[in-house]
């Protein structure tokens, strides 16, 4: 065990970000005061310091935004030449690249994720999504030959707090490329990068009303879902809310895609390169504090390598640096909210009560803010809550298996089906596993890899519909 991993602090400067004290709603290309008259304070989860006042949009506000999106759709956006549409998307992509440090700092400040991740993952991928879908905007006829693709109309988009700007990009880029206009609602705890994105929209000279941003909590989301002027809802978030939205939309003409939770198995066979596998396990569950729908939260280890693998994993865990999200050396940042921290604590307590063995490396957590130490559970039975429920925190549940058949059975023993990982030297075994794992994405000898060209989405309680790739355009198109 290393005796001391102290690093000198390497804080990222905050002054690149200019914050308003108070933000309105972005509707029809302008900032408007919320008609609801309600606001709330958004904070930094790492320090609990207040950052800005945010509008809590009500029914009238949502109505105004949907109206602006409808006008923009009918008065130009759906009719302009596809190559013009592409031009705007390319502009947005380039501006995001140019302003990436500003966005990365703001993302880490408001959401608690390490600056290393917002800088190296969230921002490059967000820009890449706009570049990718910009390329399709004038090629839809080729992408869907003989199907006469047409935009759906106005898309209502509701996103979570774990990848605020990236989820915005996943939603807005394909919608615009396909000729739709949007009303997007960011999550209540992380509205700031979506609000900064309004400035990108302005800079790109996107016609007014093509992108509208309404802030607020679940009540605002529910208004958007219910609004009769919305043609399509795209939702990423909890399975519980996803189901409620599906019930609400049953029997209506509105289209729906849901990207919900997960409880992915990360399966390590005895012939895997163990040190690489340990890195993959760490990346799979501690990336973004485990606030990842496709997190590798169930570790399945072949019995013959259980001891050495767990030993290596615990040693590696002790080297993770937990703390200030804006420090460039930080590996694990703050938990996004008090509510999420409470949920993690409750499930971890349940794991201990049910009889699992807990391991946490010695680490000093800051006094202010929301923190949870990286955690590994061993001796986990499949029936335990920590093996069944999405924890959405830096908590790994370890199970074992003897044969590939048993690995498949255990991996598939979940209500979810979003992602899985397989670690083995044998290509034939990767293919054998991939055919049997019921998961939308299967990573082999890697984990949490994303590319805009590659569709992402799940089975069963993980939702339906795909984002990314050509598949990600389809939900935003109508075919004759
Ligand atoms: P949530 O599903 O309540 O929130 C996600 C988004 O939906 C937010 O923008 C929220 O304002 C909105 N929303 C909430 N209620 C709504 C409603 N009735 N109608 C329309 N929109 C609504 O998720 P929450 O409460 O933040 O997290 C709870 C759990 O959900 C987490 O612990 C995690 O397990 C899971 N989750 C999964 C995510 C994923 O990426 N698949 C993302 C966020 C949470
Ligand atoms: Mg909720």
CATH number for the domain including 65?
3.40.605.10
326 and 345 assigned to the same domain: yes
The residue with tokens 């409470």 is 342
Tokens of 331: 């590996």
CA of 242, nearest ligand number:
1
Confidence of residue 43 (pLDDT cuts 50, 70, 90): very high
15 domain residue, yes or no: no
Tell me: the pLDDT tens digits for 282-320?
999 999 999 999 999 999 999 999 999 999 999 999 999
Find the mean pLDDT for residues 465-474.
95
The rounded percent of the chain whose pLDDT value lies above 90 is 96
8 Å CB contact between 190 and 110: yes
Asked whether residue 79 is assigned to any structural domain, the reply reads yes
The reported pLDDT for the residue numbered 78 is 85
- The answer as to whether 453 is a domain residue is no
| 136 and 55 fall within a common domain | yes
Q: Is the CB of 461 under 6 A from ligand 1?
A: no
**Are 37 and 83 members of one domain?**
yes
Confidence of residue 79 (pLDDT cuts 50, 70, 90): confident
For ligand 1, atom 36, the nearest C-alpha belongs to 238
Nearest CA to ligand 1 atom 32: 392
> By C-alpha distance, which of 382, 317, 325, 378 is closest to 352?
378
Residues 386, 412, single domain; the answer is yes
348-360 pLDDT, tens digit each: 999 999 999 999 9
- Tell me the CA–centroid distance for residue 236 and ligand 1, in Å: 7
- 103 in Cβ contact with 165 (< 8 Å): yes
Q: Which of 97, 95, 105 is nearest to 16 (CA)?
A: 105
Nearest residue (by CA) to ligand 1, atom 4, is: 237
Give Cα 22 to chain centroid, integer Å.
26
- Give domain status of residue 10, yes or no: no
Report yes or no on 6 lying in a domain.
no
285 and 427 housed in the same domain:
yes
Average the pLDDT over 233-249 and give the result: 97
Average per-residue pLDDT in the chain? 97
Counting atoms of ligand 1 from 1, which one is nearest the CA of 462? 41
Give the model's pLDDT for residue 3: 63
Q: Is residue 451 part of a domain?
A: no
Q: What is the CATH number of the domain that holds 428?
A: 3.40.309.10
Contacts with 144 (C-beta within 8 Å, 6 or more apart), sequence order: 474, 477, 479
- Is the minimum distance from the CB of 350 to ligand 1 under 6 angstroms? no
Closest ligand 1 atom to Cα of 390 = 34
pLDDT digits (tens, 9 = 90+) for 111-139: 999 999 999 999 999 999 999 999 999 99
For 114, residues 6+ apart whose C-beta sits below 8 A from its C-beta are 108, 325, 327, 330, 331, 332, 333
238 CB within 6 A, ligand 1: yes
Asked if residue 208 and residue 109 are part of one domain, the reply reads yes
Q: What is the pTM of this model?
A: 0.97
The per-residue pLDDT for range 355-397, each reduced to its tens digit, is 999 999 998 899 999 999 999 999 999 999 999 999 999 999 9
Report the distance separating Cα 321 and Cα 337, nearest Å. 20
Report CA(133)–ligand 2 centroid distance (Å): 30
- Closest-lying ligand 1 atom to the alpha carbon of residue 216: 11
User: Based on the domain organization, do 272 and 373 belong to the same domain?
Assistant: yes
Q: How confident is the model at residue 5 (pLDDT cuts 50, 70, 90)?
A: low
Check if 221 has its Cβ closer than 6 Å to any atom of ligand 1: yes
14 domain residue, yes or no: no
Contact 296, 266 (CB under 8 A): yes
Do 118 and 245 belong to one domain?
A: yes
Question: Domain of 60?
Answer: 22-259+460-479
Ligand 1 near 156 CB (within 6 A): no
pLDDT of amino acid 480:
84
Spatial contact of 418 and 294, defined as CB atoms under 8 Å apart? yes
Residues 436 and 393 in one domain: yes
Total domains in the chain come to 2
Which residue, among 117, 109, 353, 155, has the nearest Cα to 256 in the 3D structure? Answer: 155
CA 237 to the chain's CA centroid: 8
pLDDT band of residue 82 (cuts 50, 70, 90) is very high
Q: Is 295 in the pocket of ligand 1 (CB under 6 A)?
A: no
- Most informative mutation of 238, 242, 395 for ligand 1 (most atoms within 8 A of CB): 238
Q: For the residues 161-182, what does the mean pLDDT come to?
A: 98
State how far the alpha carbon of 326 is from the alpha carbons of 46, 178, 322, 352, 392, in Å: 9, 36, 11, 32, 21
| 293 assigned to active site | yes
Which listed residue (259, 389, 390, 461) is catalytic? 259
pLDDT band at 6 (very low <50, low <70, confident <90, very high): confident
406 shares a domain with 359: yes
- What order of strands is seen across the sheet that includes strand 154-158? 30-32, 25-27, 211-213, 181-185, 154-158, 232-236, 255-259, 463-464
Percent of the chain with pLDDT over 70: 99
Q: What is the pLDDT of residue 114?
A: 98
Q: Is the pLDDT of residue 4 over 90?
A: no
Report residue 327: phi and psi, to 5°.
Answer: -90, 130
Residue 97: the pLDDT is 98
- In this structure, are 279 and 255 located in the same domain? no
- At 2 the pLDDT is 59
User: Residue 189 CA: which ligand is closest?
Assistant: 1
How far, in Å, is the centroid of ligand 2 from the Cα of 358? 27
Distance CA 194, CA 214 (A): 9
The residue count of the chain comes to 480
Mean pLDDT across 257-283: 97
Rounded distance from Cα 319 to ligand 1 centre (Å): 31
Say how many Å lie between the CA of residue 283 and the centre of ligand 2: 26
Mean pLDDT, residues 22-33: 98
- Within-domain flag for 7: no
DSSP collapsed to 3 states, the chain: CCCCCCCCCCECCCCCCCCCCECCEEECCEEECCCCCCEEEEECCCCCCEEEEEECCCHHHHHHHHHHHHHHHHHHHCCCCHHHHHHHHHHHHHHHHHCHHHHHHHHHHHHCCCHHHHHHHHHHHHHHHHHHHHHHHCCHHHHCCCCCCEECCEEEEECCCCCHHHHHHHHHHHHHHCCCEEEEECCCCCCHHHHHHHHHHHHCCCCCCCEEECCCCHHHHHHHHHCCCCCEEEEECCHHHHHHHHHHHCCCCCEEEEECCCCCEEEECCCCCHHHHHHHHHHHHHHHHHCCCCCCCEEEEEHHHHHHHHHHHHHHHCCCCECCCCECCCCECCCCCHHHHHHHHHHHHHHHHHCCEEECCCCCCCCCCCCCCCEEEECCCCCCHHHHCCCCCCEEEEEEECCHHHHHHHHCCCCCCCEEEEECCCHHHHHHHHHHCCCCEEEECCCCCCCCCCCECCCHHHEECCECCHHHCHHHEECC
Do 228 and 331 share a structural domain? no
Smallest CA separation from ligand 1 atom 40, residue: 293
């Amino acid at each position: 065990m290393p005796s001391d991993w102290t690093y000198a602090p390497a804080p990222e400067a905050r002054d690149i970000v200019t914050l308003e004290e108070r933000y309105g709603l972005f509707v029809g290309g302008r900032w408007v005061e919320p008609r609801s008259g309600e606001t709330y304070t958004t904070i930094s989860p790492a320090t609990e310091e207040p950052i800005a006042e945010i509008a809590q949009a009500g029914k009238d506000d949502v109505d105004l935004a949907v109206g602006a999106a409808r006008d923009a759709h009918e008065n130009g956006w759906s009719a302009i030449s596809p190559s013009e549409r592409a031009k705007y998307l390319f502009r947005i992509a380039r501006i995001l690249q140019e302003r990436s440090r500003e966005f990365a700092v703001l993302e880490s400040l408001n959401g608690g994720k390490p600056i290393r991740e917002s800088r190296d993952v969230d921002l490059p991928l967000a820009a890449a999504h706009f570049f990718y879908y910009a390329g399709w905007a004038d090629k839809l006829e080729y992408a869907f030959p003989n199907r006469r693709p047409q935009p759906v109309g106005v898309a209502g988009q509701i996103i979570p707090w774990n990848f605020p700007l990236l989820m915005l990009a996943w939603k807005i880029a394909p919608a615009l490329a396909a000729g739709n206009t949007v009303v997007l609602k960011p999550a209540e705890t992380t509205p700031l990068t979506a609000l900064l994105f309004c400035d990108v929209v302005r800079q790109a000279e996107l016609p007014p009303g093509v992108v509208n941003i309404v802030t607020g909590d679940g009540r605002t989301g529910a208004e958007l879902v219910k609004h009769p002027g919305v043609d399509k809802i795209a939702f990423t978030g909890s399975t519980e809310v996803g189901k409620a939205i599906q019930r609400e939309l049953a029997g209506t003409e509105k289209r729906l895609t849901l990207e919900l939770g997960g409880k992915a198995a990360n399966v390590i066979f005895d012939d895997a390169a163990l040190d690489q596998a340990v890195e993959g396990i760490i990346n799979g569950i501690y990336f973004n504090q485990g606030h990842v729908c496709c997190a590798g939260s169930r570790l399945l280890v072949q019995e013959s390598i259980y001891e050495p693998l767990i030993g290596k994993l615990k040693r590696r865990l002790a080297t993770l640096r937990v703390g200030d999200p804006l420090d460039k050396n930080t590996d694990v940042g703050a938990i996004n909210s008090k509510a999420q921290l409470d949920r993690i604590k409750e499930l971890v307590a349940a794991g201990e009560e049910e009889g699992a063995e807990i391991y946490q490396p010695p680490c000093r957590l800051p006094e202010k803010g929301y923190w949870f130490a990286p955690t590994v559970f061993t001796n986990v039975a499949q029936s335990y809550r920590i093996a069944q429920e999405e924890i959405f925190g830096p908590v790994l549940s370890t199970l074992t298996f003897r044969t590939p058949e048993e690995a498949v059975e255990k991996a598939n023993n979940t209500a979810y089906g979003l992602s899985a990982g397989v670690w083995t030297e044998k290509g034939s075994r990767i293919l054998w596993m991939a055919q049997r794992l019921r998961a939308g994405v299967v990573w082999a000898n890697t984990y949490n890899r994303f590319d805009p060209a590659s569709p992402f989405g799940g089975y069963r309680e993980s939702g339906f519909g795909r984002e990314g790739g050509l598949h990600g355009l389809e939900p935003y198109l109508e075919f004759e």
